[in-house]
Structure 1
Amino acid sequence: MSKFGRRLVVVVLNLFRQQSANPFIYAKYFRRSTLRSPVITRDLPPGLSAIGVVLVVTALASPTYARDRAVHPVSQTPQLAQLATDDYFERAYYYFEHGSLQSALSYYSRVLSLDPSYAEAYNNRANAHADLRQYPEAIADFSEALNYDHPDLGLIYYNRGNTYLEMGRYDAAIADFSDAIQHHYSQIALAYYNRGNANLSLGRYYSAIDDFDQAISHDSDYVQAYNNRGSTQVYLENFADAIEDYSTAIKLDQARPTPSPTLEQAHYNRANVYYQLGDYHRAVTDYTAALGGDRADLTSEKAHHADVLYSRALAQMFLGDRPAALADLDQAIDLYNQTGNVEWYQYAQMLRDRWQ
């Protein structure tokens, strides 16, 4: 590669770092447990977002109720007006599970009109508001729930903390996660983990590492905590520690029956560290793993693959493999175009023009 070409690669990579506040992917693994009385919680598998993962909770609708609903739609059931508070709660819970959030809100509101001190209903209505990104309403309901008796106040603080985190109100999130920890929240590793995410977002790297350490001490298989601690180590330029954390995350996730999205994230993050260290062969190997190892599966549904392809193209060019670099760049350009990412489509086009 010519000196000009090498300088251009560095310039474009620097543009990437400036444009993206986070060149490393964090797994934001929220769990907002939904309750009924007595306390029952379950978790759905995580769904991948641009920078993170959000978990909600499955409802516990009975098969009998599901069958009844198929024969007698709720809106047409004559006995609806006679349902007691708990029956409204069950219906709200069922709608929440099936993604009918507006219906869930309606039934939780009916519950609260009959029992204004029903803490679980406030908590669950808040979760529905949060899923609809109606954050002020969610915060109001979580705050109201804290005014009444509840078997797990730590959970409500935790849920409200997650909402503050989604809003970007990191100091408020930290305060709530700290309260969740003080109230002995049953899933304390999650509270430490998300407090670590909030500290990381504020650039409080040592505090973030302390929190991720605590999360791992309570759950030694916490893949996302290893991944995010690795990203925090990168900001502190502790590259060896970062590689170790990413490697642990990869090893733990590969041992699962079904790999999580964090597996690709950790490969991508470790590849970025290898790239920074000039170890382009290892970087290419990890970028390939971050793509799932199969070019044919690349689709616009995995828009984050465009960034991985772009990065692998840079590493390939440093290794002198021009055809492979151009092939990756072409695919990145196509994905940026499919997803409407005009800015990075133009950057990639500019780089390709220089390389030809």
Structure 2
Amino acid sequence: MKRIFFITALLFLIGFSGMIYGQVVAKFSSKTDSAGRARSMMKLAQSSIDYYTKTFTYKGLKPEAKVRMHLERSGAYVILKKFDKAIDDCTAAILINPKSGEAYATRGNIYNKIYKDEPAIADYRKAIQYITTTEDKAQLYNLIARSYINTREYDKAVSADSMAIVLNPKFARAYASRAEAYGRLGKFQLAINDLLPAMYGFQDNARALSVLLMQRADMKRALKQYKESINDYSLALKLNPDNGLAYWNRAASYRQNGDYQLAYEDYSKAISYFKNDRMQLARLYDDRALMEVGLQQYQQAIADDSVAISLDTAYRVAYYNKANARAQNGEYTRSNAEFKKTIPYYMNNPLAMTSIYSSMAHNEYFLNNYQTAIDYCTKAIALNTVDWSPYFERGRAYLKMNNKDLAVNDFKEILARDTSKQSADYAFSLYYTGNADKAVEVMQSSFLKTNDTFVLMGDYYNMACLYAIMNKPGEANNFLKKCIDGGYNKKYALTDGDFDNIRNTAEFKNIMGVR
């Protein structure tokens, strides 16, 4: 029997693949100044500081002039990144005129720039009390929302952006910001609804539209609308072909739609955009490795996960996936050596450890080390997680050691635990507890539930195993041929004890290419 770890056992490890919810409203069209221009600006800023400092010594300056000069000097200090002095100037302006909305707003912007969101919010709210224009108030509410997003107070961000939109119904940045907050709250359809008016406001800015389309695609992907999300990512890339994040996220949609080759190609394109970020690059190589597993390209997957580990030695997922790729390739001893490397990273994660011990038991079963397989399963079961796989692996090992009663007890445990009643483990447990017809029915029903080639080939393989242990060589070889013709690994099948009943048939030998 084949365990399809790639699809079913990695959720606790890989999370939601791809990157999501990029900040889309912060300075869409900002450009990096050249070094020469930056030097000129700094020189001009220092000159401004010197001028205003000298001017403050003049007698007879009116209060409104002093407020303006403090704010102008504050801006110059910001250019020089002397933020404390910039804040001091804003505070001085407020002491002169406690009703200066501009002074509060300026100080709020400085706090925002140095990631002090709470004082920024307080200043923005003060500014709203004294600023009279509707559009400026809307801008301030949007800035408050951005600060709440930074502090992960997404409900408050939604409320602030909603106020901005009430004040200015065409405020594109507020729609985009509220969409991000909705996305963070898991309210994906509401986010999608906001992104359309956001796009209207940036229809003349191709790069901004690209980011907004990518954000909408993220939301659709979260709603499992994979084809629709792929369309939006493609539109984003048409507007900005250098949007590396869109390639990455489109790859994730292709992957979840079962289009492994297209996902592989997009991961490969994304890699070129993250060459200077070792941690993200490690994740991309690992993501591509998963596609190579789906394409039955196990050696390439092993190579890519090796690169991922070299880029980020603490990236534990790559160790697990490399171990799994070796198992899929029939390298059971080396696979367990890799799994052992993952253990220090997951010692405090019972669900992960259950999967690791079950995987190692699976490998030991194929190596005919049945007692070792039982020992690993017993360790997994002692962790008391919801995963039933260690019961299945232990039950099979007990059968090989002629402990039928213990085996049946484990298979009954699976029948009780798997409430979906649809897994391959469930089907095999039905067979081992005397319900062969129902076992076949469960396996057959799985063929109709997926368009994912990798999963379908795994289902064909498991069906072949089931018919083989039922001693039905014709049916077993028929399903085995389907999965081998689909690119399945012969090395794995040749070492699978489930095929012992049909191993000497001419058709099996022909399928496997052995004499």
> Normalized against structure 2, the TM-score is what?
0.53
Q: Does 1:34 align with 2:21?
A: yes
Q: Hey, what does 1:100 align to over in structure 2? A: 187
Q: Hey, what does 2:247 align to over in structure 1? A: 157
Deviation at 1:25, TM superposition (A): 5.8
Q: Does 1:335 align with 2:417?
A: yes
Residues 173-322 of structure 1: matches in 2 within 5 Å? 173-184=263-274, 186=277, 187-254=280-347, 258-259=348-349, 261-291=351-381, 293-294=383-384, 302=386, 305-322=387-404
Deviation at 1:199, TM superposition (A): 0.9
Deviation at 1:180, TM superposition (A): 0.9
Q: Does 1:60 align with 2:149?
A: yes
For 1:23 and 1:32, locate their aligned partners in 2 and report how far apart those are by CA, in whole Å: 19
Checking the alignment, whether the CA contact within 8 Å between 2:392 and 2:425 is kept in structure 1 is no
Checking the alignment, whether the CA contact within 8 Å between 2:415 and 2:430 is kept in structure 1 is yes
For 2:18 and 2:313, locate their aligned partners in 1 and report how far apart those are by CA, in whole Å: 18
Tell me: CA distance 1:199–1:26, structure 2 relative to 1, closer, same or farther (3 Å). farther
Deviation at 1:204, TM superposition (A): 1.0
Secondary structure, counterpart of 1:341 in structure 2 = coil
Deviation at 1:171, TM superposition (A): 1.5
Checking the alignment, whether the CA contact within 8 Å between 2:319 and 2:341 is kept in structure 1 is yes
Deviation at 1:277, TM superposition (A): 1.2
Tell me: CA distance 1:111–1:173, structure 2 relative to 1, closer, same or farther (3 Å). same
Q: Which of residues 213, 221, 224 is equivalent to 1:122?
A: 213
Kindly provide the amino acid, as one letter, of the partner of residue 223 in structure 2: L
For 1:208 and 1:63, locate their aligned partners in 2 and report how far apart those are by CA, in whole Å: 36
Tell me: CA distance 1:78–1:173, structure 2 relative to 1, closer, same or farther (3 Å). closer
Greater helix fraction, Structure 1 or Structure 2: 2
Tell me: CA distance 1:350–1:140, structure 2 relative to 1, closer, same or farther (3 Å). closer
For 2:370 and 2:333, locate their aligned partners in 1 and report how far apart those are by CA, in whole Å: 16
Percent identity over the alignment is 21
Secondary structure, counterpart of 2:149 in structure 1 = coil
Deviation at 1:112, TM superposition (A): 0.8
Deviation at 1:201, TM superposition (A): 0.6
Secondary structure, counterpart of 2:433 in structure 1 = helix
Checking the alignment, whether the CA contact within 8 Å between 1:61 and 1:93 is kept in structure 2 is no
Could you tell me which runs of 5 or more consecutive residues in structure 2 were left unpaired when the two chains were aligned. Answer: 28-147, 436-515
Q: Which of residues 120, 141, 149 is equivalent to 2:232?
A: 141
Secondary structure, counterpart of 1:60 in structure 2 = helix
Deviation at 1:290, TM superposition (A): 3.4
For 1:80 and 1:138, locate their aligned partners in 2 and report how far apart those are by CA, in whole Å: 32
Question: Which protein has the larger Cα radius of gyration, Structure 1 or Structure 2?
Answer: 2
Tell me: CA distance 1:306–1:68, structure 2 relative to 1, closer, same or farther (3 Å). closer
> Normalized against structure 1, the TM-score is what?
0.74
Q: Does 1:79 align with 2:166?
A: yes
Checking the alignment, whether the CA contact within 8 Å between 1:226 and 1:245 is kept in structure 2 is yes
For 1:210 and 1:265, locate their aligned partners in 2 and report how far apart those are by CA, in whole Å: 23
Secondary structure, counterpart of 1:136 in structure 2 = helix
Checking the alignment, whether the CA contact within 8 Å between 1:61 and 1:94 is kept in structure 2 is no
Checking the alignment, whether the CA contact within 8 Å between 1:230 and 1:242 is kept in structure 2 is yes
**How many pairs were matched up?**
303
Tell me: CA distance 1:165–1:189, structure 2 relative to 1, closer, same or farther (3 Å). same
Could you tell me which runs of 5 or more consecutive residues in structure 1 were left unpaired when the two chains were aligned. Answer: 1-15, 40-58
Deviation at 1:292, TM superposition (A): 5.4
Greater relative CO, 1 or 2 (CA 8 Å, sep 6+): 1
- What is the Cα-based RMSD across aligned positions, in Å? 3.1
Tell me: CA distance 1:156–1:263, structure 2 relative to 1, closer, same or farther (3 Å). farther
Checking the alignment, whether the CA contact within 8 Å between 1:92 and 1:103 is kept in structure 2 is yes
Deviation at 1:346, TM superposition (A): 5.2
Tell me: CA distance 1:87–1:77, structure 2 relative to 1, closer, same or farther (3 Å). closer
Tell me: CA distance 1:68–1:194, structure 2 relative to 1, closer, same or farther (3 Å). closer
Checking the alignment, whether the CA contact within 8 Å between 1:24 and 1:269 is kept in structure 2 is no
Tell me: CA distance 1:67–1:235, structure 2 relative to 1, closer, same or farther (3 Å). closer
Tell me: CA distance 1:24–1:237, structure 2 relative to 1, closer, same or farther (3 Å). farther
Checking the alignment, whether the CA contact within 8 Å between 1:197 and 1:208 is kept in structure 2 is yes
Kindly provide the amino acid, as one letter, of the partner of residue 193 in structure 2: S
Checking the alignment, whether the CA contact within 8 Å between 2:154 and 2:184 is kept in structure 1 is no
Tell me: CA distance 1:244–1:344, structure 2 relative to 1, closer, same or farther (3 Å). closer
For 2:213 and 2:221, locate their aligned partners in 1 and report how far apart those are by CA, in whole Å: 12
Q: Hey, what does 1:171 align to over in structure 2? A: 261
- 1:300-319 CA distance string (max 9 Å, x none): xx4xx333312211223334
